[in-house]
A and B are shown apart, each in its own frame.
Chain A
């Protein structure tokens, strides 16, 4: 037993460890699936992005569970759990003729997908990360970050980092933990606001 778990035992705390973010390649092409010819409308089954990705990696791309777990940046048993949930949800939707809606979940994308509002191409540029200023096809600057849109929709609103020393607020940059940031005003430690 390590220090941390001893500490938790002493505190008699039951708070679980935060969920590790699962890595994803592409977001699914559709938002869900609807049963054909169902007589009554039932509540939909909500499938998480990570469950869709697990199913895709294991059964569509035919990776072994070990490889798929590595791709998603989770442990092998966790991958199995996610995959199992995905199968159960699909089985339930099929048997009880429910809709499947794919949304939410704790995921990060390798690279964000962008959409150009002028030529409507959906694109990403490997190696450039997310610092894209204009569309590589038509050169228009009217582009939107599709993936960030999904992430924001999950969390509800924008997040902020706040300085512990001077209470200075800086907009949170996705991917960089607030505690690793330095306050631009006083170089103090920062933390997530309301986090």
Chain B
């Protein structure tokens, strides 16, 4: 099972980014193998439609769950249509600590 966490930078010590479409990096964690990859968000600086593009990217990665601080209305619809579970966290944990807690 692949889990995506929006991230502020590309290291496990960085914090989760509270934005979804405009987060600079995405941490992709594979719960079975324990692999952690970072994918850059190329559309972070776009004027509009960053959310749905990221949703598409995450669907292509084959993730089933996304952790972030907020989802825009367009991103919400897109993720829902892909059947990806959204989790909104109130505070920003470190990627490392969050991964350790994810089962």
Q: A136-B65, A137-B102, A139-B103 are in contact. List 20 more A-B contacts (CB 8 A).
A: A26-B90, A121-B89, A121-B90, A121-B91, A121-B93, A122-B89, A122-B91, A123-B87, A124-B87, A125-B86, A125-B87, A125-B88, A126-B71, A127-B79, A127-B80, A128-B85, A136-B67, A137-B67, A138-B102, A138-B103
Please give the distance in Å from A169's CB to the nearest CB on chain B. 35
Q: How many residues on A have C-beta within 8 angstroms of the other chain's C-beta atoms?
A: 15
The 6 nearest A-B residue pairs measured at CB:
A122-B90, A136-B87, A139-B103, A126-B86, A124-B88, A127-B80
Contact at A125–B101, with CB atoms within 8 Å? no
Is A113 among interface residues, defined by CB-CB distance under 8 A?
Answer: yes
> Which B residue's beta carbon lies closest to that of A113?
B90
Please give the distance in Å from A26's CB to the nearest CB on chain B. 8
Q: How many residues on B have C-beta within 8 angstroms of the other chain's C-beta atoms?
A: 18
* A-facing residues in B51-103 (Cβ within 8 Å): 65, 67, 71, 76, 79-80, 85-91, 93, 98, 101-103
CB contacts (< 8 Å) of A136 on chain B: these are 65, 67, 85, 87
Contact at A123–B88, with CB atoms within 8 Å? yes
Is A119 among interface residues, defined by CB-CB distance under 8 A?
Answer: yes
- Cα–Cα, bound, A114→B81 (Å): 24
- The interface centre, meaning the residue of B71, B76, B102 with most chain A CB atoms within 10 A of its CB, is B102
Please give the distance in Å from A25's CB to the nearest CB on chain B. 9
CB contacts (< 8 Å) of A26 on chain B: these are 90
- Cα–Cα, bound, A128→B88 (Å): 12
CB contacts (< 8 Å) of B91 on chain A: these are 121-122
CB contacts (< 8 Å) of B79 on chain A: these are 127
Contact at B102–A126, with CB atoms within 8 Å? no
CB contacts (< 8 Å) of A121 on chain B: these are 89-91, 93, 101
CB contacts (< 8 Å) of B76 on chain A: these are 126-127
Given contacts A121-B93, A136-B65, contact A127 B86 (CB under 8 A): yes
Contact at A125–B85, with CB atoms within 8 Å? yes
Contact at B90–A123, with CB atoms within 8 Å? yes
Please give the distance in Å from B85's CB to the nearest CB on chain A. 7
